[in-house]
Each structure stands twice: as structure tokens, then as C-alpha cells.
Amino acid sequence: MSQVTSTDLYEVTMALSYLREGMRAPATFSLFVRDLPPGRGFLVTAGLEPALEYLSRFWVSRSDVLEFAEALRRPVADLEPLHGLSFDGQVRAVPEGRLVLAGEPLLEVTAHLPQAQLVETYLLSLVCHQTAVASKAARCVLAAAGRPLVDFSLRRNHGPEAGMQAARLCALVGFAGTSNVAAATRYGIPASGTMAHSYIETFTSEEDAFRAFARTHPGPVTFLVDTYDTDRGVATAARVLSDLRLGPGCGIRLDSGDLGALARRARTALDAAGLSDVQIIASGGLDEYAVAALVRDGAPIDVFAVGTKVGTAADAPYLDAAYKLVEYDGRPVMKLSSAKVTAPAPKQVFRGPGFRDVIGLANEEPPEGTEPLLQTVMRGGLRTERPDTLAAARARFDADLAALPDVARRIEDPVPPVSVVSNRLSALTTVVRGRIEARTQAVQ
């Protein structure tokens, strides 16, 4: 499936019309999130790297034109103006891993109008999904309070590619590993995993299963102990681990039931067996709320394995995001429709201490003591720097998270910081609104 034709039909119809009308002047589109989802105190920018990769390879081929013609039920010749269209524009964006707020542009695309229009859908799909998942995963990091987390989401993600994205995003915000083998090898993330209940069930006893597994994997190993009776499973695992002396790094995994109570009994049993170095890993429907509760209650859990609810951003699976035209051919433009008003012109976000952010014009001087968030990452269709690394994105995330106000870091009822608009942007908005309203009244 072509990335070019993975778009909404109206992107094609608009781009074709622009070409027919000779409307090829530069246009700037701004991608932003109108409002944070409920229960979120911040967002983590993500998806920029694959977005830049997409733009750098964007080119409308002959086969793409054939697909467009088939979808529109039009002669191929009608779609011919699209053939050979590529992206040679500029992208300014907030680097991956940085924390952003409602209304702040995550990226801005400036290119000839047909180009900038045709890439809208794919960019929104990449950036919105990945920002939503990264933000959910980041909250799990906060909830775990320093305890390691592992991504177990692949089997519940919305497709294998979403699983690859989730593993990468979890690593970006500090997860210690992933069960996804392909993601582990592609991104250099430690692979983590043990066994399923079905493995235990194929043997006549849990002990036979544990010993067989240890023969194939001589250590360290983690035994899944809740297939039948968890307390007995812990006792059996302790006996096998003591007999085989598999060394440090071994563990047991709890996957169901009252994880806090089970972990306490398991810790007591393991310590009594002289296995104080054996870790307890918990999984099974966990998210930041469950993890925070377990940590708050002092459950002796060493590692949290999270999957379904994080990989799908279950409580906030989408963002109220938009990709809106803010300037065409040097003319600032804006939308005035109710509840969806946009601000005109290319923008910049100036970050002050404590996330006192100012959204201003791209060409205005930064307020004293602030730093601009959006950077030029593509010019003339080419990257301005080498591809970013997970380590660099992780460092940006760690720094921003440390600076985030405590009320925005809360798992329950967070209070996000709110950006303000600069005087220059506010004044321009008033002028552009007045021009549009005057023009509209004149036509009436």
C-alpha cells in the first residue's frame, strides 16, 4: 500500500484543483491539539521522526495516479497533474520527547500549496497516534516512581505497526524493555518475556514446566506462577529456583488477582526461602492508575509490565488535533467557525520557567528568559540534521518532565499549565478577523 495514497479523498480533490487553478504559492499549515484529553496534564510530542521520513520520500508515482483515478472514477488523464509531485518544503517542529500544552503547534509545514495539502492526513495519523501513546506511557513512568516498566502491548495494539510504534514510544519515555522482538532489534530496546499459561498447562505439573523451561533457558528465568493457585505456584517456583541455583536476576510473574496482596505473600515466601534477590513482576490490565495505587499501597512489586491500556491509550485513544492553514502566499489566514477558531500566521512557542509558555509569531523576538520550542528540521525537502535518536529524545523528555509543575504531574486530577498568546499574535488575529468579517459583509 502506497503511503501517498494513504490519504483522505478530499486531500486529492483539493490538491488537484489547486494545480488546475495555478495555486502553487507557499502555504503554511500548523498541526496542533486544541484541548488536552480529560485526565491529562501534558502531552509528549512523538511521531516526528517517521513524519520526516515520510516527507523525505514523498513522491506521487504513476501507480499512485492510477489509484487516485480509480477512487475518483475519473479518466487517468484528469489526474495527470499530480504525477511527479514531491515534497520540497520546510518543516519546523517541536523535537520528539518534549512536553507540550493545548493549542501549541507540534509542527508547521511550509510548502507549495498542493504539496502541503496532500500530506495532511498522513502527518495527522502519525503524530496524533504516537503523541497519545507516548503521553499515556509517560504517565505510567510517573506512577511507577522509579520502578522499571516493560511494554507488553503488541498483541493488543491496533495492528503490528502500531505495536512497533508503542514499543519505541515506551522506550522514549523510559521503559526498560519490550516483549516485541522486532522492535527490540530495530530500536535497540532490551527484549523481555517469559512464558504463557498455555506453557504451564502442557505439562502435568507446574514444577515439571518450570524445570523444563529452566533446562532450555539456564538463567536468569522468570516463572509465571498464577496458572492454578498463585500461592502454591510461588512455593513451587521458590523450590525450583533454590534447587537449580540459577543466579541473580530471576523472578516470578503475577498476572491476575489482587496483585498487591499476592505480591506481599509472595515476597514473604521468597524471603523465607532465602530468595530475597528474586524479583516480583506484575502484569494484567495495568495502567498508570493501577500502578499508582500499587505503589501508594507499598506493594513489593519490582517491575510493572503494562500492555493493552497503554499501547492503545485506552482512556484517551485520540487527540482533538487539527492541521490548519495559517498563511497562503504571504497572506495570514484564519478560521472563524464557532468553537474552532484558529490563529493566523506561522507561530513559535516560547517556553519560560515552570512551563509559562507564550504562543507568538514565528518572526517575533523571544520574551526574556524563554526558549523557542519549534526548530527547523527540514528545508527544501531535506532534513537539516541527522535522524534523531531515542537517547536524545529520552534526554529531552527527562528534562521537561523534571521541570513540569507538580500539579500537572498528578495521576488523578492533574491541572495542566495554560499557554498565553503574545501581544503581537493577538493584534494580528484581531486585524485578520476584521478583514475577513469586512469582506464577508461586503459580499452580503
Residue 356's pLDDT is 96
Three cell numbers, residue 114: 498542493
pLDDT band (50, 70, 90) for residue 362 = very high
Whether the Cβ atoms of residue 326 and residue 334 lie closer than 8 Å to each other: yes
Residue 289's pLDDT is 97
Q: Options 3.20.20.70, 3.30.70.520, 3.40.50.720, 3.30.70.20; which CATH number does 142-311 get?
A: 3.20.20.70
Same CATH fold, 142-311 and 9-133+318-443?
no
| pLDDT (tens digit per residue) in 227-285 | 999 999 999 999 999 999 887 889 999 999 999 999 999 999 999 999 999 999 999 99
pTM of the model: 0.94
| pLDDT (tens digit per residue) in 91-126 | 999 999 999 999 999 999 999 999 999 999 999 999
Three cell numbers, residue 16: 488537484
| pLDDT (tens digit per residue) in 401-439 | 999 999 999 999 999 999 999 999 999 999 999 998 888
What DSSP line would sit under 192-236, residue for residue?
Answer: -----HHHHHTSSSHHHHHHHHHHHS-SS-EEE--SS-HHHHHHH
- Could you tell me which CATH number the domain at 9-133+318-443 has? 3.20.140.10
Domain residue extents for the chain: 9-133+318-443, 142-311
H or E segment at 395?
A: helix 390-403
Mean per-residue pLDDT, 170-186: 96
> Taking 80 as the threshold, does the pLDDT of residue 338 lie above it?
no
| pLDDT (tens digit per residue) in 276-333 | 999 999 999 999 999 999 999 999 999 999 999 999 999 999 999 999 999 999 999 9
| CA–CA distance, 387 with 194 (Å, rounded to integer) | 33
- Percentage, residues of the chain above pLDDT 70: 99
| 359: amino acid identity, one letter | I
Whether the Cβ atoms of residue 325 and residue 27 lie closer than 8 Å to each other: yes
